[in-house]
Structure formats: structure tokens, C-alpha cells
Amino acid sequence: MKHPSALAALLAAAALAGPSARAQQAPSPGAAPFYDPTPWMASLRPAARAELARAARVERLDALPLYDIQLAFDAAPRTVTVREEVWFTNAERAPMRDVVLRVYANAVRPAAEGHGRAAVVNPPVRFVRGACAGDGCAVTQESPSVIVVRPRAPIAPGGRLRVVIELAATLPEIDSARTNIFAQGMESLSMLGASEGGGDYGLLSVGEGIVSLANLYPVLARRVNARWERDDGGSLGDLGSDDLANVHAVIDAPAGHVVATTGVTLGSSVANGRRRTEVGAVGVRDFCVMMGGALQVATRRVGDVEVRSLFLAGDRANGARVLDAAAGALAVCERRCGPYPYADLDVVEAPLVGGAGGVEFPGLVTVASMFYHPPALTGLTGGIANLLGAGDAITQSMGQMLPTMLEFVTAHEVAHQYWHGLVGSDSRAHPYLDESLAQWSAGLYLEDRYGAARARRDADLNVRMNYQFMRQLGHDDGPVDRPTAAFGSPMRYAGLVYGKGPYLYNALREAAGDAVFFRALRRYADAWRFRTAPPTGFVDALAAESPSGAARFRALAHRWLQESHGDADMGEVDMGALVGAMMGANASPEMQQALQMLGPMIQQLQRQQQGNGPRPRNGAPAAPQGGADVDPDVQRMLQQMIEGL
């Protein structure tokens, strides 16, 4: 979900500065409609409207859960109130004694408070009250992120439940000084020794006048082996449900705010200085609202799909770049993977922190403000400038690299509209299924648009560097396909899922040949539209297209996903040559030398801090020793990064 771009960006920046599928059951025969989703079908393109029920394996769309949300935002106190009615049908064969809802914003520490999951003191979302329609029930808050609904009698198979939940929240405020590429890179470095992710990444916050309202709304908890999951086993990766639902929302906000959401706007009206926006979304796995009084909008059409880029006024040039990349990436995805299901796609500038480069939702993706803003070394120039001798050279070089990163992140988030927006997957048990494929798909967009050489170069910077940096810091290679809780640290998660996993698809493409590979890609997307694909889904599609190659495809998948051959299979990245290719004449030998030094320098400092931390891998350059080799100012600066500033 959260593309780990800031860490890769800082690697380059600092170097420039120095030398399982669950079928839904239909309502009982002859049962009256539970609710009518027809008014919200406008959120889908016509072909998707016709196929949704069949593809999702429901006889009627009212078998899917409905989240009916009323939301009011007040800007001055940064407060939000939510009244949500959840319409739930028991789709299993046994009665249910309870229904568990999750408020995922309360499962991680707010971004304004620091990094990681830890104990969430003063969770941002407050449970106010809950009640059921009809016979009644008990609604209690079991923990900050868990709300339990216990009806008077068990819910029979095909039985229905309606519960109303009221919540309130005060949004954390993101300091604008944090939404810069260098500041976010340093936050990423400060988490090198962490075992959890970067808090909530600003998904529920206000920053630079942009309001982000994600993970705020109660949703049905993940259901695994007929049990509700109340704990996520850590905050790495995506927190949330992977199942389809329908959403109807009414958003009350200041009249001057531009609103972007999952789904389509059904109506809008202004009265007494407030704007009321009605939204509908059908067949979605998540829901998000973004808004702001200073947001501007640029649009482009890809066929009959409207693509919108929303950005701050001062970021118009990069807002246009994002629009161009999003439209181009969507066109490539449609050509290679089949029709995009939704009527529109919004790409919104967002004050993401914790190192996140972007976050995806159905029909809406966010891209971090750090990629829109010019690089600024305010407050950091002491140690960094001493490496190059001039802070201006750093900002100039980083400024040249940002458009490349911005385009890649945008393409990655657009690819998530397919993986796992359209083709669902278990994002907790098998996170590589959507993240590795979205990384690879971003490279495919670059290849189709600019050619193979550009795609390889940008993949080295945005993909392979995650793996190489992980190895430079002494972390072992290991299996890619494992639950998020098994990675142990954000560095290993990024290195393996975002850095190594994507290259499986290159290996499979080479083994199968382009004709077979791309037919299999389309077969995979078609087979699992609006469903949840199994971990073997893509390799199964390849085997179906080329039965004679099935054994080889499965062996390759096992090698890349279960074994530890990354060093041999991926080789070394020549960081200096990479920056040289990116920067052209501006990449001095000093910059190249600095890039090659950065990993061992941080590794040395990490080992010094941990005492007996991970040792360098075989073949890694020896960490510089003594003040004669590493500028003391640089040592102090990097040490501050490691300690979390």
C-alpha cells in the first residue's frame, strides 16, 4: 500500500551530499432487498456494472456489506464527526454470535505523535455510541480499534444485521517542514532499527490545508477461518479488510473545500457556508475522502474514464506531471490487463509522512507532497553541505531526480487499481501479491512509454535499491512470500517485498516469452476480477497458457518467493553509475563516491548503536573507519538520523 519511496530517495539524496478467497452467499430465496445499490452504480463503467455480481459470485449486490456514512468536518478545530450505518449479511453457513468492526486509524500511532504501533495513547478516533436496528444488540468498544456487536440471538446463515456507530475525531496536524524529500528521507533513516511501520503515515490528518480522512470509518474486521481478526500482528504493510463492499456517503464540509473520494459524486449543494456532497461507490475494498480549500484540479480523459489530478496551487507543474503519468499508466494497465472498472480516477497530493511515497484506494490514490515540493535543506545544511561543499548542488541534483521518482510512484499507485483493487489478495498473509506486482507494473508502464533502457534505469532507483540498501545494512536475504508480521522490520519488508519480489515477474517473462507472459497476465486479471486471488494465481495462469512450461514457472516462483538467491539473481547496483545516468553531466566523481560510501557508513553507525547488530554481508565494502575517512560532521548527522533526530 504505502510505497517506500522516501528511503530510496534519501539514499540518492544523501549520496549526492557527500563523497484466500471466501465466496459470498446469496440472500435467502425470495428475500426482500436489503438495500438498493442502484443509485450508486454510476461509480462503475457500464461493462463493470453488468459483470460485478457474477464476478463477485453474488446473486444480488445487496449481499455485499453496505457502509452508509454521514461525515462532518470543521476546519478550525480540525474535528470530524461520523455517523455510520453498517448493513451486514451473514454469508457463512453457520450462525454468527457476534460481528466485529475495526477502526484501523486507532491501530497505529498517529503520524503527528511519532513512528510505530506501540501503545496508542489517546487514539485519534473516539467511540461515542452504537445501537442496532430491530431486535437490538450490545455494541461495545473492546479496544481502541475493535468494536464488537453482539445481537440478542445469533445471526443465521443469510440473516441480516443493521448497526449504527457514532464516532468523533480531532485530526493531528502535519508540520509542513516534514513534507519535504530530505525530511522524509531522514524519518525513514531514523526507523532503520524499528520493528514497526511509520505510524499511520498521515492517513488521518491535516497538513498544508489538505485533509486526509482514511481508516476512520468502522469496517468489518478481516474474517479468517470463521474467526474475526482483532489483532493485526504488527503495523507493517496494509491494515484493512480485503473484501468487497458498497459505500454511500454524505460529506458536510466548508463550502470552499474541493472534495475527492472513492466513488462518484451523486450530488452537491451549498448552504450557510457549508457544502454537502453525496457520494456512491459499488464493489470497492476501501473508502477514502480527501479535501482542501486550496486544492486545484486538472483533468484528462482516458477513453470514457475521467482522470483528475488534485494539487496545491504552488505545485501546479508537478500536478500536471502526475496527471500525465496517471493517465499514461492507466492506459498501459488497460491495454495489458483489461478494462479499468471505475468511472473515474483521482490522484491527490497528500501530506504523507513516515517515508510513504503514496497510498492507494479504489478510484483514488494519493502521492506524497514531498514529490511535489522543491527539495529544501533547511536546518540540515551543516553536515550535508560539508560533504559536497555546497547545499545548492544537492538541491539542484535532487530536484532533477524528483520528477523520475514522482512518475514511478504515480504509476505504482495507479497499478494498485488492479492489484489489489480489482484483483483482490490477502494483504496480510501474502503482501507481495499486490505490492510486488504493482512495483513491476510501474516498470512496465515505463517500458511501454519510454523503452526498456529507461525502465531498467528507473527500476534500479525505485525497486532494486530497496533490496540493495537492505543488504548493505547487513540484513539477510530471505523469503518474499510470508505474512507481514514475519518480516520483523520495515527495512526487510521494503527490501524483499518492494525490492526483490518484483523481479520474479521479469524471470517469469523471460522463461515464458512475451506472448505467453502477457496472455497470462490478462488471464489472471480476468479470472479474479472482483474476487480474491490465491497466492498461486499468476503462476497458475502462466501454466494454463503454456502447460509444457508449468514445472519451470513453479520452480522459478519457489526460487524467488521461498528461497534466498537475491544476491546471485539480482547482482549489485553500481550506485555511482546509476546517479550518473540520472544526473548526466552533473554527476561528479565525488557524488558517485559518496553514493558508494553511504551504505557502509550507515551500517557502521547502526552497528555502533546496536553494539552487536548485523554484520556486513560477504562482499560488502568495509565500513569506513576513523575520522580521516568520514567527515565528523557527516558522522554526527547520520548518527542523528539513526537515533531518530
pLDDT in tens, 68-88: 999 999 999 999 999 999 999
Find out whether 108 and 200 touch, Cβ atoms under 8 Å. yes
Q: Residues 590-619: what's their mean pLDDT?
A: 47
How many domains is the chain built from? 2
Q: Residues 594-604: what's their mean pLDDT?
A: 52
Asked whether the predicted pLDDT for residue 98 surpasses 70, the reply is yes
Find out whether 83 and 70 touch, Cβ atoms under 8 Å. yes
Q: Residues 582-590: what's their mean pLDDT?
A: 50
| pLDDT given for residue 362 in this prediction | 97
Q: Residues 176-180: what's their mean pLDDT?
A: 87
CA distances to 296, 308, 315, 328, 416 from 321, rounded to whole Å, are: 14, 12, 10, 11, 19
Range of the domain at 614: 575-642
Domain boundary among 417, 433, 465: 417
Asked whether the predicted pLDDT for residue 176 surpasses 50, the reply is yes
| pLDDT given for residue 50 in this prediction | 95
**d(C-alpha 572, C-alpha 579), whole Å:** 14
Asked whether the predicted pLDDT for residue 639 surpasses 70, the reply is no
- Residues listed for the chain: 645
| pLDDT given for residue 111 in this prediction | 66
**d(C-alpha 182, C-alpha 175), whole Å:** 14
Find out whether 463 and 499 touch, Cβ atoms under 8 Å. yes
Closest of 212, 215, 217 to residue 232, by C-alpha: 215
pLDDT in tens, 287-338: 999 999 999 999 999 999 999 999 999 999 999 999 999 999 999 999 999 9
| pLDDT given for residue 572 in this prediction | 74
Query: Considering the domain boundaries, does residue 638 fall inside one?
Result: yes
Q: Residues 398-403: what's their mean pLDDT?
A: 78
pLDDT in tens, 141-165: 999 999 999 999 999 999 999 999 9
Query: Considering the domain boundaries, does residue 315 fall inside one?
Result: yes
Asked whether the predicted pLDDT for residue 455 surpasses 70, the reply is yes
Query: Considering the domain boundaries, does residue 432 fall inside one?
Result: no
**Grid cell listed for 266:** 451523486
Percentage of the residues of the chain whose pLDDT score is greater than 90: 66
The band of 17, judged by pLDDT with boundaries at 50, 70 and 90, is very low
| pLDDT given for residue 234 in this prediction | 82
Domain boundary among 417, 439, 459: 417
| pLDDT given for residue 601 in this prediction | 52
pLDDT in tens, 419-429: 999 999 999 99
pLDDT in tens, 516-543: 999 999 999 999 999 999 999 999 999 9
| pLDDT given for residue 173 in this prediction | 94
Report the CATH number that the domain containing residue 242 is assigned in CATH: 2.60.40.1730
The band of 255, judged by pLDDT with boundaries at 50, 70 and 90, is very high
Helical H runs in 417-549? Answer: 432-450, 452-459, 465-472, 490-493, 503-512, 514-527, 537-545
Residue 78 region, left (φ>0) first, then alpha (ψ -120 to 50), else beta? left
Q: Residues 575-587: what's their mean pLDDT?
A: 53
Query: Considering the domain boundaries, does residue 394 fall inside one?
Result: yes
Query: Considering the domain boundaries, does residue 484 fall inside one?
Result: no
Higher pLDDT, 281 or 354: 281
Asked whether the predicted pLDDT for residue 585 surpasses 60, the reply is no
| pLDDT given for residue 612 in this prediction | 45
Closest of 467, 491, 497, 480 to residue 575, by C-alpha: 467
**d(C-alpha 374, C-alpha 366), whole Å:** 18
| pLDDT given for residue 628 in this prediction | 36
Q: What is the mean pLDDT of the chain?
A: 84
**d(C-alpha 196, C-alpha 199), whole Å:** 8
Closest of 390, 345, 352 to residue 372, by C-alpha: 352
Query: Considering the domain boundaries, does residue 460 fall inside one?
Result: no
3-state secondary structure 242-281: CCCEEEEEEEEEECCCEEEECCEEEEEEEECCEEEEEEEE
| pLDDT given for residue 16 in this prediction | 38
Phi, psi (degrees; rounded to nearest 5) at 31 = -65, 140
**Grid cell listed for 501:** 519480489
Query: Considering the domain boundaries, does residue 539 fall inside one?
Result: no
Percentage of the residues of the chain whose pLDDT score is greater than 70: 77
Query: Considering the domain boundaries, does residue 551 fall inside one?
Result: no
Asked whether the predicted pLDDT for residue 6 surpasses 80, the reply is no
Domain boundary among 383, 402, 417: 417
pLDDT in tens, 352-368: 998 889 999 999 999 99
